[in-house]
């Protein structure tokens, strides 16, 4: 059923952004959800449709927001063996392998995590994220593996979305990069925006984009005369921008092994072990794994933290690098 919300701006809220104000007044709506509703022309400011989430409001402004009845997804189920780590009546935590996208999009409407979730239980997914994204609260890239949380109802979706918006979700990644990071640990804080040369890519900018913060530290360095230098890195995200870790590592000068979009050229090693070289060349994904995810459960109101092991293809490379100096 369609829902109507009517608000009047008080003195204490003047000059707030429109989306921030609505989010503040309506705790059940995440800021991302409010922003999308505004962009979909579902909000009137002083009886006029507005499509600017960042618009500053004034005392006495009237706001009328229409929340349409969510559409039911009409997607095909996909028989796929989901690696479900945890499931209850509110959410699912699953370990996504590389090579599969999260939701339908251009060129692929059937073989996605969403289609697999519909096959798993089509009647238990949130439906406020859009017709093509039932249950999807956040995403990881096609060629990234690791943990994601899925909402099974709209209340859980809003609760989890708000945690992502507030940057309170715990997200830890492991990755293997070329070379050694300098310094070996630190905080990368930049703006990230669409690339001016390729709209499918992102880049660091000094003047525009969204704030992106990545905390990183070196866990292990692999360096001897028989191999290229690699570093095993742990990244903790404070924000979750598109391709954030990949862009930030490339910004440091240490692109991720197997990343075919954000990469630098490195010297060839003449005496590299043949089997190791084969495994490095045949890695058809980036060495990037979402290892840990933690959040407050929407209903139980307690912290839940989940951990995962590296996939076999990544663990094999690490094992070979560790044995290369022996």
Three-state DSSP class for residue 221: strand
What is the secondary structure of 116-177 as a DSSP string?
A: HHHHHHTTSS--SS-TT-TTBS----TT-EEEEEEESSHHHHHHHHHHHHTT-SEEEEEEEE
Given 19, 61, 141, 259, the catalytic residue: 141
192: tokens are 């990230």
Is 19 marked active-site? no
User: By the 8 A CB rule, do 50 and 18 touch?
Assistant: yes
Q: Where are the beta strands (DSSP E) in the chain?
A: 3-8, 43-45, 48-49, 62-67, 84-87, 91-96, 145-151, 170-178, 185-194, 202-205, 210-222, 230-237, 288-296, 303-307
Catalytic residue annotation: 141
């Amino acid at each position: 059923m369609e829902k109507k919300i009517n608000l009047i701006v008080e003195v204490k809220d003047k000059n707030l952004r429109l989306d921030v104000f609505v989010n503040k007044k309506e705790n059940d709506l995440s800021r991302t959800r409010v922003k999308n509703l505004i962009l979909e022309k579902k909000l009137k400011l002083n009886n006029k449709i507005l499509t600017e989430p960042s618009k500053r409001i004034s005392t006495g402004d009237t706001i009328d927001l229409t929340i349409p009845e969510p559409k039911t997804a009409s997607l095909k189920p996909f028989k796929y063996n989901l690696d479900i780590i945890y499931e209850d009546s509110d959410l699912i935590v699953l370990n996504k392998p590389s090579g599969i996208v999260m939701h339908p999009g251009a060129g692929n409407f059937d073989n996605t995590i969403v289609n697999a979730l519909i096959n798993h239980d089509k009647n238990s997914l949130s439906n406020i994220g859009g017709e093509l994204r039932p249950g999807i609260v956040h995403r990881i890239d096609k060629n990234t593996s690791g943990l994601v949380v899925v909402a099974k109802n709209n209340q859980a979706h809003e609760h989890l979305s708000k945690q992502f918006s507030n940057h309170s979700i715990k997200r830890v990644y492991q990755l293997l990069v070329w070379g050694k990071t300098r310094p070996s640990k630190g905080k990368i804080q930049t703006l990230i925006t669409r690339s001016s040369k390729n709209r499918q890519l992102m880049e660091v900018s000094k003047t525009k984009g969204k704030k992106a913060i990545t905390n990183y530290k070196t866990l292990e360095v692999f360096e001897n005369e028989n191999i290229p230098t690699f570093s095993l890195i742990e990244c903790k995200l404070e924000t979750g921008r598109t391709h954030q870790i990949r862009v930030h590592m490339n910004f440091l000068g240490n692109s991720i092994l197997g990343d075919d979009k954000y990469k630098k050229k490195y010297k060839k090693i003449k005496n590299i072990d043949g089997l190791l070289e084969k495994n490095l060349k045949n890695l058809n994904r980036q060495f990037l794994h979402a290892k840990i995810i933690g959040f407050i459960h929407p209903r139980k109101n307690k912290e839940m933290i989940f951990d995962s092991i590296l996939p076999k293809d990544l663990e094999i490379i690490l094992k070979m690098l560790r044995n290369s100096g022996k």
